[in-house]
A = this chain, B = another copy of it.
Amino acid sequence: MDKYIFELEFNVRDYECDLQGVVNNSVYQNYMEHTRHEFLKTTGLDFAGLHSQGIDPVVYKIEIDFKLPLKSGDKFISKLNIEREGHLKMIFYQDIYRKSDNKLINKGKVTAVIIKNGRPSSPDFFFDELYKV
């Protein structure tokens, strides 16, 4: 896999920074979630809409390597790729790059599954929408 299929630009917001003066680690999960949901919309699906149909993509596992901190005033690009693993898992590769110098800020891997009416369900419908795009 040598490229990303979606990217989204953000600005650091000062309230996201903690007393160390850098973006708090938990906030990267917010950035990554927003990136996945915006990506989802490009396929014609949306998170709130799926939830109202009883379909909930849920995060099963998250791994993030923090390389460099983002600070107040930084702009950054959140990039995403996706792969299927087995019948049920979707793997999102999500990396964040500082805009000014293209340095890698962090490297994430998010494993998600679809829960439909309380049980794991195939993500086929999602990949079908994705490959139509």
Contact = CB atoms under 8 A, between A and B. Distances in A.
Interface of A: 11, 13-15, 17-21, 24-27, 29-30, 33-34, 37-38, 41, 46-48, 51, 56, 58-66, 69, 71-73
Stoichiometry, as copies per complex, reads 4
Contacts of A29: 25-26, 29
Given A66-B60, A66-B61, A72-B47, A26 B18 contact: no
Most chain B CB inside 10 Å of its own CB: which residue of A11, A21, A46, A69: A21
A30 B19 contact: no
Given A13-B34, A15-B34, A72 B48 contact: yes
B26 A30 contact: yes
